[in-house]
Amino acid sequence: MNLRPDFVPERTCWFNRLHPVARTSAIVVTGFTAIVYDKFPLLFATFSLATIGAAISIDKLRWLGIRLLGLTLAIVPFLLYLILYVPEAGARPSSFAPHVSWYGAEQAGKMVLRMTTLFLLGSTLFAGKQFERLTKILSPLPVVGKLATMPLLTLNYLQLFLKELSQLRISLRVRGFRNKMSWHAYHTASAVLGSLIVRSVDRAERVNHALRARGFTGTFPNWAPPRWQWGDTVTFVLSICCLTVVSIQKAGLL
């Protein structure tokens, strides 16, 4: 059963051929370091690793660039606020007049690096069939398996929901509908929302009956589990060592 959500195009490379557990451990450790640490050298290092991982894992870099541009435009207001209105470290805000704050600019730079790193790591984690492979490996576990199966089903049918919403928008525009602040527009939007809800409930019932008819018990069988190789061992050991060093240094023991 293939439930691969086509959100992120996948490229055939050595990193994507790693065992899902070793691959996910490297991504999680990099993201943990980017979240925990607040120093520019480590943020630049995690950003570089995330960029390299995304470049070799994702097939269409244009796809990635468009979404990075959207993320940048979304956080521009927050960056402007940090640069123009946040006072210097230890100083009290004197007025609400805009002024350039070097402390705010530093925080804005850290925010850009951290958010970009997490976005690249998330895109790498969900590239192609990687999330499906990880889910099938975790399926035999009692509780974790069910928790891992639910996001996979959700992502798959979220993709169908967005596709159906796009088709409804196209059909409305073909029929001359324009989104304006009027009662007619509100009535049409509520009708479309109701139609989507009814269709989603109907699809959920059909999927439930189909899964039960096929003997689904809450987890997906993994007929061809990936083999653990020496490259997976090296990646996993390095990830654990980096996580240990980061945790000890953050605790102040080094």
Q: Which residues pair with 58 in a beta bridge?
A: 10
The pLDDT of 48-62, averaged and rounded, is 81
Cα–Cα distance for residue pair 248/245, rounded to 1 Å: 5
Q: In this predicted structure, what is the pLDDT of residue 8?
A: 59
Q: In this predicted structure, what is the pLDDT of residue 1?
A: 42
Tokens (6 digits) for 98: 């805009």
Average pLDDT, the chain: 77
The pLDDT of 141-146, averaged and rounded, is 63
C-alpha distances in Å from residue 108, one per residue of 102, 105, 218, 226: 10, 5, 44, 42
- pLDDT range class, residue 3, cuts 50, 70, 90: very low
Tell me: the pLDDT tens digits for 9-27? 566 767 777 777 788 888 8
Please check whether residue 121 is in contact with residue 58, taking contact to mean a CB–CB distance below 8 angstroms. no
Which range among 52-61, 80-89, 121-130, 140-149 shows the weakest confidence by mean pLDDT? 140-149
Tokens (6 digits) for 108: 């804005």
Rg, C-alpha atoms of the chain: 23
Long-range CB pairs of 73-82 (<8 Å, 24+ gap) are 75/111, 75/112, 75/115, 78/108, 78/111, 79/108, 79/111, 79/112, 82/107, 82/108, 82/111
Higher pLDDT, 6 or 251: 251
Q: In this predicted structure, what is the pLDDT of residue 124?
A: 81
Q: In this predicted structure, what is the pLDDT of residue 92?
A: 64
- Percent of the chain surpassing pLDDT 90: 0
The pLDDT of 128-141, averaged and rounded, is 66
Q: In this predicted structure, what is the pLDDT of residue 5?
A: 44
- Percent of the chain surpassing pLDDT 70: 77
pLDDT at 97 over 70: no
Which range among 90-94, 192-196, 211-215, 250-254 shows the weakest confidence by mean pLDDT? 90-94
Q: In this predicted structure, what is the pLDDT of residue 189?
A: 82
The pLDDT of 103-131, averaged and rounded, is 82
The pLDDT of 25-34, averaged and rounded, is 86
Q: In this predicted structure, what is the pLDDT of residue 182?
A: 78
pLDDT at 2 over 50: no
The pLDDT of 165-171, averaged and rounded, is 84
Tell me: the pLDDT tens digits for 59-96? 777 777 888 888 888 888 888 888 887 776 656 656 66
Q: In this predicted structure, what is the pLDDT of residue 243?
A: 77
Q: In this predicted structure, what is the pLDDT of residue 95?
A: 61
